[in-house]
Amino acid sequence: MQIRFSDLDALDHVNNGFIAQYYDLGRINYFSAAFGRRLDWTQVVVVIVHLETDFLAPIHQNDNIYVETKLTKFGKKSMHTIQRLVDKTTGEVKSTCIAILSGFDRSTNKSMEISEDFKQVFYRYEQGLPPIDTTNITE
């Protein structure tokens, strides 16, 4: 994670508002890894509906931070993930985030069920299996 000078606040640590952006980047990379390719985010069929973040320790500009993202479960219309910001040098967990995403139909602007094909992409990724051909799966 690149920590920019503009991410810092008057206390010389990363402002909590920027930490949400770090988690966004983690989710983007997680989705890309699961699908085995960069995604067209205008075609992604889930949207964030809930974020819950705990700030455990300050992050400073020179910290070497990375984001871990893991699927915890799928519901009929929801996808639950947990994320952590971890200091690569010390192993200290700096923050945690629970994110719930909902299936979303852009044509109606309403929630929708998440397809089994979409779910299988993430189940396979979490099991360490190679990505399947996702060209026919609406992201």
Per-residue tokens: 110: 């309403």
Is residue 118 in a domain?
A: yes
Residue pair 14/7 in contact (Cβ under 8 Å)? The answer is yes
Residue pair 93/116 in contact (Cβ under 8 Å)? The answer is no
Is residue 133 in a domain?
A: no
Is residue 102 in a domain?
A: yes
The structural domain count of the chain equals 1
The per-residue pLDDT of the chain, averaged, comes to 91
Exposure letters 59-91 (e unless 16+ CB within 10 A, then b): beeebebebebebeebeeebbebebbbbbeeee
pLDDT at residue 134 greater than cutoff 70: no
pTM value? 0.87
What is the domain range of residue 107? 5-126
Q: Give the β-pairing of 78-87 and 65-74.
A: antiparallel
Return the residue matching tokens 């320790």: 57
pLDDT of residue 5: 78
Is residue 96 in a domain?
A: yes
Is residue 79 in a domain?
A: yes
pLDDT at residue 136 greater than cutoff 70: no
* CATH number, domain containing residue 76: 3.10.129.10
pLDDT at residue 53 greater than cutoff 90: yes
Mean pLDDT of 83-88: 97
